[in-house]
Structure 1
């Protein structure tokens, strides 16, 4: 039995990178919700922009999770 250490390292690096990216996008979504909730102290369009930002970020996170499930579950292919 032989282990391809290069492939294992690549998989680990991509996994860490995608994890950090999803957490960053989710954080931006939470920031958008915070801006939408704090609309009284922000400019007039901040509430709408914050909700749009949050929606897009959470949609992107859901897409990444759905793609991961698609890759794992063989019945979906």
Structure 2
């Protein structure tokens, strides 16, 4: 059995970068959805950005499931 260490390293690197990016985008969504004005209301721009971040996360997960299933 021969292990292609270069390919294994590439898979590890891409997986690490994708995981950190996905967690970062989800964190931005949490921060955006918890943003509040001084008077207690939420800011529309922050909430819209949060929804976009959540949508990106959902698309990434759906794409991953698609890759695995096909």
TM-score normalised by the chain length of structure 1: 0.83
Moved over 4 A (4+): none
Task: Say if 2:57 is the partner of 1:61.
Answer: yes
Question: How far apart are 1:47 and its partner, in Å?
Answer: 1.1
Gap runs ≥5 in structure 1: none
Question: How far apart are 1:70 and its partner, in Å?
Answer: 0.5
State how far apart, in whole Å, the 2-side matches of 1:64 and 1:6 are: 25
Aligned length: 69
TM-score normalised by the chain length of structure 2: 0.91
